[in-house]
Structure 1
Amino acid sequence: MTTPSPTSGWSSFWNRGGWWRAVLVAVVYLALYLAGGQLVGALFGDQVDSEDLFATPQSVIFGLFLPLAIGAVVLIAFVASLHWFPALFARQPIGGRWWMWLAPVAVVAAIVLRLLGIDYASYAAGVVAITFVSGLLVGFVEEILTRGIAVKMLRDAGKSEWVVMVVSSLIFGLLHASNILSGQEIATVALTVVFAFGFGICMYLTLRATGNLTWPMLIHGLYDPTLFLATGGIDEVHSGPQSELLTLAGPSNMIFILIAIVGLIFVRGRVQRSQT
Structure 2
Amino acid sequence: MWQQAEKRTGTLRRLKVWQFLVVVVLYLVLVQGVSALLTSGQDVAYGAPTSIDYLVRVVVVPVGLAIALTLGVTGYLGAWQEVFTSRVPVRRWLVVVPIAIFATAAVITNYLGLASHGAAFALLLLVAMLMVGFGEELLFRGLGVLAFRTNGYSEFQVGLWTTVLFGAAHGTNIITAGPQALVQVLATSATGLVFYLVLRGTGALVAAMAAHGLWDFSVLSSQIQPDEPWPLVNLSGVVLALLLLLALVLRRRIAPASPGRREEVATGA
Q: State the TM bucket, normalised to the shorter chain.
A: 0.7 to 0.9
Call closer, same or farther: CA 1:87–1:227 in 2, change over 3 Å. Answer: same
User: What does residue range 195-206 of structure 1 map to in structure 2 within 5 Å?
Assistant: 195-206=187-198
Shift, 1:117, TM fit: 5.1
Letter in 2 for 1:112: A
> Is 1:189 matched up with 2:176?
no
Gaps of 5+ in 2: 1-7, 256-262, 265-269
- 1:202/1:259 contact within 8 Å kept: no
Counterpart in 2 of 1:258? 245
1:17 aligns to 2:16 (yes or no): yes
Q: CA deviation at 1:109?
A: 2.2
Q: Where do 1:1-12 residues align within 5 Å? A: none
Question: Is residue 60–residue 130 contact of structure 1 (8 Å, CA) maintained in 2?
Answer: yes
Matches within 5 A, 1:62-141: 62-90=57-85, 92-115=86-109, 118-141=112-135
> Does the C-alpha gap of structure 1 residues 100 and 41 become closer, same or farther in structure 2, counting only changes over 3 Å?
same
1:262–1:195 CA distance, 2 compared to 1 (3 A): farther
Alignment counterpart, residue 28 of structure 1, candidates 26, 29, 40:
26
Shift >3 Å, 4+ stretches: 4-7, 115-118, 238-243, 245-250, 259-270
Write the letter of the residue equivalent to 1:54.
Answer: P
CA deviations on 1:113-154 (whole Å, 9 max, x unpaired) are 023755323324521111000011011100000000000011
TM-score (normalised: structure 1): 0.78
Deviation of 1:230 after TM superposition, in Å, equals: 1.6
**Which of 152, 174, 177 is matched with 2:146 structurally?**
152
Question: Partners in 1 of 2:58 and 2:247 — Cα distance?
Answer: 31
Amino acid at match of 2:195: M
Q: Distance in 2 between matches of 1:118 and 1:260?
A: 34
SS of the equivalent of 1:178 reads helix
Question: Which deviations, in whole Å up to 9, do the C-alpha atoms of 1:181-219 show, x marking residues without a partner?
Answer: 11422xx22221112111111111111110111110111
Is the CA contact 1:201–1:263 (under 8 Å) kept in the aligned structure 2? no
Question: Could you report, residue by residue, the CA deviation over 1:35-55 in whole angstroms, capped at 9, with x for unpaired residues?
Answer: 22233335xx65xx6148522
**Partner AA of 1:145 in structure 2:** L
- Identical amino acids, percent of aligned pairs: 25
Partner SS, residue 109 of structure 2:
helix
Distance 1:70 1:259 in 2: 37
Give the match's secondary structure for 1:251. helix
* 3-state SS of 1:209 partner: helix
CA contact under 8 A between 1:104 and 1:219: conserved in structure 2? Answer: yes
Q: 2:153 is paired with a residue of what secondary structure? A: coil
Contact 2:113–2:224 under 8 Å retained in 1: no
Contact 2:91 2:254 (C-alpha < 8 Å) held by counterparts: no
Rounded Cα–Cα distance in structure 2 between residues aligned with 1:28 and 1:265: 36
Query: Could you tell me which of 61, 68, 91 is aligned with 2:56?
Result: 61
Which of 161, 164, 167 in structure 2 is aligned with 1:170?
A: 164
Per mean C-alpha deviation after superposition, the further-off stretch among 172-181 and 113-122 is 113-122
Shift in CA distance, 118/150, structure 1 to aligned 2, threshold 3 Å: farther
Query: What SS does the corresponding residue of 2:174 show, helix, strand or coil?
Result: helix
Residues 89, 57 of structure 1: alpha-carbon distance in 2 compared, 3 angstrom cutoff: same
Query: Which is worse superposed, 78-87 or 200-209?
Result: 78-87
RMSD, matched Cα:
3.0
Displacement of 1:66 after TM fit? 1.0
Amino acid at match of 1:138: V
Q: CA deviation at 1:239?
A: 7.2
In the alignment, residue 16 of structure 2 is paired with which amino acid? G
Is the CA contact 2:223–2:230 (under 8 Å) kept in the aligned structure 1?
no
Measure the CA separation in 1 of the matches of 2:37 and 2:248: 40
1:161 pairs with 155, 164, 173, which one? 155
Partner letter of residue 105 of structure 1?
I
Provide the aligned length of Structure 1 versus Structure 2. Answer: 250
Q: What TM-score do the two structures reach when normalised by structure 2?
A: 0.80
Unaligned runs of at least 5 residues, structure 1 = 271-276
